[in-house]
Amino acid sequence: MSDNRRTTLDAAATATADIVKPDVNARSQTPLSALLYADNGTPIASTNIRYFPDAELTQGTVKRQRDRVAEVVDPGLRKGIKKGVSRMGFEVTDWQGTEVRDIHGLTALVTRYQRADTQTGSPFQVRLIRVYAASRTFFLTFSYRLAEWILMEPIAERVTRSVRLNRN
């Protein structure tokens, strides 16, 4: 994946670090990306995960602040993502917001929005799942071409529901 076409995870991580807590290290370790292409080479979907071993925000803090965390984080995250995707040649076309979800005992922040390539106009649905757990913090992004919604949305929801922390 080229630098100018990176999925919005880097922008979201930086924005979240600035908004949520200044000591969350926006420089992640162990990035992993997977891309799915159609036979003609057109991107269909991508997933990215990044770990933040230097993060200090914990599950306990997120759980205690769950009633406020989405409303506090969402406006700044929206601004940061809009700025980040713009630098990558995209624009946010529909901001669906951030919700707090309980997933297998974890409290996760799930942000959804649509973005489009400014040159082709090709729209994508993006789901950013953030799990804050101090040194085990990770962000998972799943995005797919909006034209593939009927097939990809159930997969995106399954990916979201499958999020867990390794107990090691």
Q: Is the pTM of this model over 0.95?
A: no
Check pLDDT > 90 for residue 131: yes
Q: What is the CATH number of domain 3-161?
A: 3.40.1000
Highest-pLDDT range among 10-14, 16-20, 65-69, 137-141: 137-141
- Whole-angstrom distance, CA of residue 16 vs CA of residue 14: 5
* 136: confidence class by pLDDT, cuts 50, 70, 90: very high
Say what the pLDDT of residue 165 is: 86
Strands (E), 13-118: 29-37, 43-52, 90-103, 106-117
Of 12-26, 56-70, 84-98, 127-141, where does mean pLDDT reach its minimum? 12-26
pLDDT of 93 above 60: yes
